[in-house]
Structure 1
């Protein structure tokens, strides 16, 4: 790890001191009466979209789902501090199959949906929640492959129900400031420094740091502008990578998780939470009139 100083938290939210996010209940921990009260209060509901997949030898299979619930809890805590009713909705612990451009080999532990099945499940869950009376739903993506499918489902639910369904991709929202929290200068990604920082803040007892191994791809140095996958804010959907991109790939991760610290995980969560709260606050300050919606 380098000797650079740790940056201070940088969020744009202006909320007052938030309650302890660890005390915010997850949907499964709530009672029917508590959910009913949230509906009466016109509460925002955050539905995190996770996965069950390998994250190298050092992180658990449910890392995406755990981080999604963690971020939802932190966001709800800050919304509560500002007086906005909100709850942590149910999490989906399975996602679409991984991109071959991220993991080209099969590794044990992955339990995936096809994209079609994932969209059906997400739509069914969304409709159940909307039929109960929720009108502001946020799909919080924490599995890259869920980004495009969740947009399709959100669009359909907006067109066919009275609810407003919004998708949140923090990878794009927090990206302009995210890199300054990382020590590594080489490419970081799945199971790497950033994700390991967050898991050390979320569930340190599940991180096997003695098994953390670095791996970095061998990309070409003549890439065109915006040559990144769309979920990273790029304009090129390249889902297979030619050799020698994956030379030496075996651990299933991209980056250097050995550089991760829980302290920087907390700072990154602050950044991500600030962006989510800004988006939701903006929505809550607008009109409730969707009379022109196509129903």
Structure 2
């Protein structure tokens, strides 16, 4: 494992050129700016994607790109602090980044996502790029999430969703503990309306706290254990994709 990640923003043009020649792989963390209850900051999805990406870059020697701080956050649009991009714009940014890094020699772009609503944009951007560029792109979002949570989390999800819950709070305690106020952590499982998912009823209409699950059960230990499992799978995916690129 390398001691320091190769962070693009902190490097000179010569250092970037050398890094790309040595290992032509780049990692793009994707996040969002939206509420995560009263105990977590709005940047949770950014901090988690960036923190995991940095560790993945340290393991592999890949180039760490600046994080995308905005995603599709329509459901929280009326809560102060939210910044939401239209879904096709997220897809467009991913494609623009891919086209940029491919020009100076990157052969594999790894998308590491911390925001569930970005998954559709990643999926379609990668498909379109397959037909447009001679570049391999893979997208990763907490691999084997269900099994990892069954092993390390005590509380159930809210209908399969993770948001400001035991899972995300545990990851934040492992990566950014100074930003977590466990005294404000709560447990909330809002009632799911019949028309949820079939209408414009959104998450912002349902929860009083902004928590979907039980944040009170979160611990740093759980977060560290889950991050290790995610990283093991992500590293294997990255290396396999690179060999095939």
TM-score by length of 1: 0.74
1:121 and 1:251 mapped to 2: Cα distance? Answer: 31
Structure 1 position 265 matched with structure 2 position 223: yes
Q: CA deviation at 1:248?
A: 6.8
Q: Which residue of 2 aligns with 1:41?
A: 22
Segments of 4+ in structure 1 off by > 4 A?
A: 239-243, 245-248
Q: Which residue of 1 aligns with 2:174?
A: 201
Does the Cα contact within 8 Å between 1:48 and 1:68 map onto a contact in 2? yes
Output aligned runs, 1:1-80, within 5 Å: 18-20=1-3, 23-79=4-60
Structure with the largest fraction of helix: 2
Output aligned runs, 1:112-151, within 5 Å: 112-151=84-123
> What CA deviation, in whole Å up to 9, does each residue of 1:202-258 have, x standing for no partner?
1111112211121113359xx9xxxxxxxxxxxxx9364879x99972111211111
Does the Cα contact within 8 Å between 1:26 and 1:69 map onto a contact in 2? no
Structure 1 position 276 matched with structure 2 position 234: yes
Does the Cα contact within 8 Å between 1:94 and 1:113 map onto a contact in 2? yes
Unaligned runs of 5+ in 2: none
1:242 and 1:86 mapped to 2: Cα distance? Answer: 41
> What CA deviation, in whole Å up to 9, does each residue of 1:161-182 have, x standing for no partner?
1111111122x53322322101
Output aligned runs, 1:101-180, within 5 Å: 106-170=78-142, 172-180=143-151
* Larger gyration radius, structure 1 or structure 2: 1
Does the Cα contact within 8 Å between 2:39 and 2:180 map onto a contact in 1? yes
Superposition RMSD on alpha carbons, in Å? 2.6
TM-score by length of 2: 0.88
Q: Indicate the SS of the match to 1:137.
A: strand
